[in-house]
C-alpha cells in the first residue's frame, strides 16, 4: 500500500501516472491524462488528510457549483444522511456548512478516513474511452474479472453530492467529436485497517478544460 495524507499529493500523482496502462491513453486528447491523474491525486489527498477543511478547500477550487436549494432530487440522499448524523434537517441555503458537517462526521470515524491506496497490480484499475454519446458513457469500462463481486466484498455506500459540474455530461457530449470518459477503481486502506474500493467515473468537458465527476463515486 502507498501511504496517503496531507503531504502525499506528489507521491500519489507519480503513482497514478505509473498505474495508467499506456494502451488506455492512446486516444486521449492532449493534456487530459495529466489533468485526470492530478484530479484523482487531489481527491485522494483531501480524503486522507483528516481535516475537513482540506476537503472543503478542494471543493472551493475544483471548478464546480453547489446544488440548488430547490433541487429536491439532489437533496434527498443528503438530507437522509444528515438527519442520521445530526438528528436535524440540513439548511439547504448553506450547502457548504452541510458538507462541512458531513465530512467532519465521516473523518471522525476511523472506518471512513483513508490512510493508503493500493500501490500496484490488481488493486488499481484506470481506463479511458471515447464514446459517441451519453448512452455509451453509462456502460462501465471495467468489467469481466474486475466485476462488482471482485471489487466489493461488503455493502457499499453511494456518494453524496453537494457540488456538481457547471456543464452536464449532456452538454459536454453536445460539443461534438464524441465524449471522453474515464473510470477508476482503487483499493483504499482506512484508518481502522479495513480496505474498500473507491469507484469513480468522470467525463472530459473540453470547453471548461475540466474532468467532471458523473456522481457515481
Residues 180-205 have pLDDT tens digits of 999 888 888 888 888 888 888 999 99
Domain boundaries, the chain: 2-49+114-213
Strands 114-117 and 124-131: unpaired
How far is the first Cα of the chain from the last one, in angstroms, to the nearest whole number? 21
44 has a pLDDT exceeding 70: yes
Q: Give 10: exposed, middle or buried? Use CB within 10 Å, 0-12, 13-18, 19+.
A: exposed
**Length of the chain (residues):** 217
Of the candidates 103, 122, 124, the one whose C-alpha atom is nearest the C-alpha of residue 40 is 124
3-state secondary structure at position 47: helix
Q: What is the mean pLDDT of residues 1-28?
A: 80
The average pLDDT across 41-48 equals 90
Tell me the average pLDDT across 111-122.
80
pLDDT score recorded for residue 104: 87
Q: State the CB neighbour count (10 A cutoff) for residue 70.
A: 8
Distance CA 172, CA 151 (A): 30
The pTM score is 0.84
pLDDT at 66: 93
DSSP states of 159-203 as a string? PP-SEEESS-HHHHHTTSS-EEEEEEEEEEEETTS-EEEEEEEEE
Share of the chain above pLDDT 90, in %: 28
Nearest to 98 by CA among 77, 73, 125, 116: 77
pLDDT at 216: 46
- Set of cell numbers at residue 74: 439532489
% of the chain beyond a pLDDT of 70? 85
pLDDT of residue 155: 46
Q: Which residues contact 151 (CB under 8 A, 6 or more apart)?
A: 185, 187, 197, 199
Arithmetic mean of pLDDT over the chain: 83
Q: pLDDT tens, 20-30?
A: 877 677 778 88
Amino acid at each position: 500500500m502507498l501511504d496517503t495524507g496531507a503531504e502525499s499529493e506528489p507521491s500519489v500523482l507519480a503513482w497514478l501516472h505509473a498505474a495508467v496502462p499506456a494502451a488506455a491513453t492512446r486516444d486521449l486528447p492532449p493534456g487530459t491524462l495529466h489533468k485526470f491523474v492530478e484530479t484523482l491525486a487531489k481527491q485522494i489527498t483531501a480524503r486522507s488528510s483528516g481535516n475537513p477543511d482540506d476537503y472543503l478547500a478542494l471543493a472551493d477550487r475544483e471548478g464546480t457549483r453547489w446544488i440548488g436549494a430547490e433541487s429536491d432530487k439532489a437533496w434527498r440522499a443528503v438530507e437522509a444522511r444528515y438527519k442520521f448524523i445530526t438528528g436535524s434537517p440540513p439548511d439547504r441555503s448553506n450547502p457548504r456548512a452541510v458538507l462541512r458537517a458531513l465530512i467532519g462526521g465521516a473523518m471522525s470515524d476511523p472506518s471512513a478516513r483513508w490512510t493508503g491506496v493500493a500501490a500496484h497490480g490488481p488493486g488499481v484499475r484506470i481506463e479511458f474511452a471515447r464514446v459517441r454519446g451519453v448512452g455509451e458513457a453509462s456502460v462501465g469500462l471495467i468489467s469481466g474479472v474486475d466485476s462488482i463481486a471482485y471489487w466489493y466484498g461488503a455493502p457499499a455506500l453511494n456518494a453524496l453530492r453537494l457540488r456538481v459540474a457547471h456543464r452536464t455530461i449532456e452538454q459536454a457530449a453536445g460539443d461534438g467529436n464524441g465524449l471522453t470518459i474515464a473510470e477508476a477503481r482503487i483499493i483504499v486502506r482506512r484508518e481502522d485497517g479495513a480496505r474498500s474500493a473507491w469507484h469513480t467515473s468522470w467525463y472530459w468537458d473540453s470547453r471548461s478544460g475540466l474532468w467532471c465527476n458523473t456522481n457515481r463515486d
